[in-house]
Chain A
Amino acid sequence: MKKLLLATCFLMAGSGTLFAQKYMTRTGKISFNATAVHSPEKIDAINNEVANILDAKTGDIVFQVLVKSFKFERELMQEHFNENYMESDKYPKAEFKGNVANVGEVNFSKDGTYNVKVSGKLTIHGVSNDVTVPGTITVKGNALSAKAKFSVVLKDYKIEVASMVADKLAKEATITLESDLTQK
């Protein structure tokens, strides 16, 4: 019986440390720029409510954003983004589920910036695609900062570009992500 108790304690302790290796935030920043080269106006938006968890042990990483939380400089553009392009009533969230392939190279107990490669499934507008994105993880004490910059082709996510805005809206959007996570 004693042994069992010990074993249970050990297991609980084990799972305890496991949870401690998760890093999380709900206030990550993501922005995109989909301005065509000669467009007279900028088409970009910011979202400061990115939810993000990284499991430092397994390298599993997930991101989630509410599409409606993207803020545009122009209110009307924001409405069109939600109504006509992202159909955010039908597809309220965009998310990424993936894995940091080289998580072993990141020393979470040593401050520094590490280059990482993240692959997984990116879901936007109800369409999922496999993507691989390079990024960096900066360790500073108990906190992490994850950064990535990549681009998505709108057509890959069945986001239609109306011909009348084709001179303004690029076929590809550049996405910049910056997420400051704290140990959970």
Chain B
Amino acid sequence: MRKSLLLSVLSLGFVTVSFAQTDSLMNMLNSGAPVKNEPVAATFKATRIIDGSSVENLGAGVLDFRISHRFGDLSQGSQNFFGLDNATTRIGLDYGITKWLMVGLGHSTFNKEDDGFLKIKLLKQKKTGMPITLSYAGSVSVQTTPAPTLPTGDTWLFSNRLYYTNQVLIARKFNDWLSLQLMPTIVHYNLVDSSKFSNNTVAIGIGGRIKVSKRIAITGEYYYRATNADMTYNGQKTYNALSLGIDIETGGHVFQLMFTNSQGLTDRTFIGQTTDSWGKGALHFGFNISRVFTVVKPREFRDTKATSW
């Protein structure tokens, strides 16, 4: 009796095993599955929050054609069609060399400035573990307006035209809709208005975005100058740059629309040489348009003949 009881218990066990349902097959798949702790994607929609860099990099082999536009001062009134007559533009090409390294070149009408930058992603925020994304961004710019007329014997050095910016970008995507970024920054101006100003400006930027729908986000960016805040630019008082904007994403484009008190589009201009202020209503409407092209296809697509751009 005992034997048969044991047997039936055993065979019951066997029956359970043989009823291997799809669920247990799924469990088998899950149990041995490699655990993937992927980096958090899309902290920001674009490689710029508004004026300054975000921690986003272009993918490897991706080329980004960017047009940025800042209209003139709104407070100029109807005389200048509320600023539309008096715009600055930057045209730029950015390229992702690897997943973590991107470079870019641009030309801006403000001071006829040429600029080049690189951005390196050093840490990536992960779902578990690493809480932040950290990048370094560095840029150099050359102002190419004609040299001023100087007394005979004096020479206008090329170095007078150069500016350097070094930034650390620290960002965290808190959830689906909220991302924040801190940007400790040093801008070096080779030439300043007067010897009483330092050539270095230390600033701390704070930026963020709030996603309001799948394709629309509200953005903000503020650069607070910790040192050298009294520096003038061409004799004019300067202000900290504050920009508020909206990101709209459509297929291959990202449109960024914004109001900002800075008309300059390069790091050195908006951080230390913004001469308009929100307080006086001297705002600029502007937009960034980005169009990306895949130049080098990902490995999986190399053998296909698709030419889709």
Contact = CB atoms under 8 A, between A and B. Distances in A.
A18 B28 contact: no
A4 B251 contact: no
B214 A74 contact: no
A89 B28 CA distance: 23
Nearest to B211: A83
Contacts of A60: 20-22, 25
Contacts of A8: 10
B17 A15 contact: yes
Tell me the interface secondary structure of chain A in the complex.
mixed
B11 A79 contact: no
A51 B33 contact: yes
A34 to B, nearest CB: 13
Contact of A168 (B3, B41, B251, B306): B251
Nearest to A45: B300
B7 A64 contact: no
Contact of B29 (A46, A64, A164): A64
B157 interface: no
Q: In the complex, which of the residues A24, A41, A61 has the most CB atoms of chain B within 10 Å of its own CB atom? A: A41
What's the interface size class on A, roughly? 35 or more
A4 B7 contact: yes
A58 to B, nearest CB: 7
A75 B25 contact: no
Interface string B41-59: 1100000000000000011
A11 B6 CA distance: 13
Nearest to B18: A18
Contacts of A73: 294, 297-298, 301, 304, 306, 308
B25 A76 contact: no
Contacts of A120: 22
A82 B41 contact: yes
B215 interface: yes
A48 B299 CA distance: 12
Interface string B18-44: 101111011011101110101001100
Task: Rank and list the top 9 A-B pairs by shortest CB-CB distance, nearest first.
Answer: A75-B59, A97-B22, A41-B308, A73-B301, A62-B25, A84-B214, A51-B29, A53-B25, A71-B300
20 contacts: A4-B3, A7-B7, A15-B17, A18-B18, A48-B300, A58-B20, A60-B21, A64-B29, A64-B30, A71-B298, A71-B301, A74-B294, A75-B59, A76-B59, A80-B251, A82-B42, A84-B215, A97-B26, A162-B215, A164-B251
Interface of B: 3, 6-7, 10-11, 14, 17-18, 20-23, 25-26, 28-30, 32-34, 36, 38, 41-42, 58-59, 62, 96, 176, 214-215, 249-252, 292, 294, 297-298, 300-301, 304, 306, 308-309
